[in-house]
Structure formats: structure tokens, C-alpha cells
Structure 1
């Protein structure tokens, strides 16, 4: 898998987590642990995206 396609998949996953998190936040019955888990996953995906972007830029120079 190329770096661009991997980044695209991660960005898609990040957007899906954001939608799921917003849906959970809109419903008061959602368990707080579920919200924390979604936020953690979303941040982890974002960190991976940033790491790949940084490494991609570093390899170009």
C-alpha cells in the first residue's frame, strides 16, 4: 500500500470516528467510557497521520 493510499485510509477512519463521536455526544445515554475510547482512538489515528506526513516530508528533503 502506498503512503498516499494509507494516509487516505487513515483520514477516512478519522472522519468516521469523528462522526461516531459526535453521534455519541448527541445522545445523553452514551457511556462516558465509550466517549473516552472514541476520543483516544481518534487521537491515535490523528497522531499516525501526522507521523506519516512528517516522515513523508522528511524523506523528500
Structure 2
């Protein structure tokens, strides 16, 4: 099933983005635009993971 490796890759990228968001958020003066970009990408990955998980169930 090619979806499983793809899902794992997305989960890894999602975790990396989560760490980058936390790092940026903890800076003394976080870059708001960078945070928005990172959060949007994280959401996009989450949505794609949910679609893949849904296709695995069916």
C-alpha cells in the first residue's frame, strides 16, 4: 500500500513543523508572518493525512 509510507512521511513533516512553530513561538520576538506560514503548512499536512487515513479505512 503506497499510502502508508506517504502517511508516515506526512506525519514526520507535521512533527517537524510543530517543533518549528514551538521554537518560533518561544523566541523573544516571534515572526508573526513566519508563524502563519508554518501553521498553514501544518494544517495542510494534517488535512492531507486525514484524507489518506480516510481512504485507508474504505
TM-score (norm 2): 0.92
Q: CA–CA distance in 2 between the matches of 1:11 and 1:29?
A: 28
Separation in structure 2 between the aligned mates of residue 40 and residue 28 of structure 1, nearest angstrom: 22
Q: Which has the higher Rg, Structure 1 or Structure 2? A: 1
Task: Tell me whether 1:24 sits opposite 2:48 in the alignment.
Answer: no
RMSD: 1.2
Q: Any gaps of 5 or more consecutive residues in structure 2?
A: none
Q: Which residue of 2 aligns with 1:5?
A: 5
Per the alignment, residue 42 of structure 1 pairs with 42
Which consecutive aligned stretches of 4+ in structure 1 deviate over 3 angstroms post-superposition? none
TM-score (norm 1): 0.88
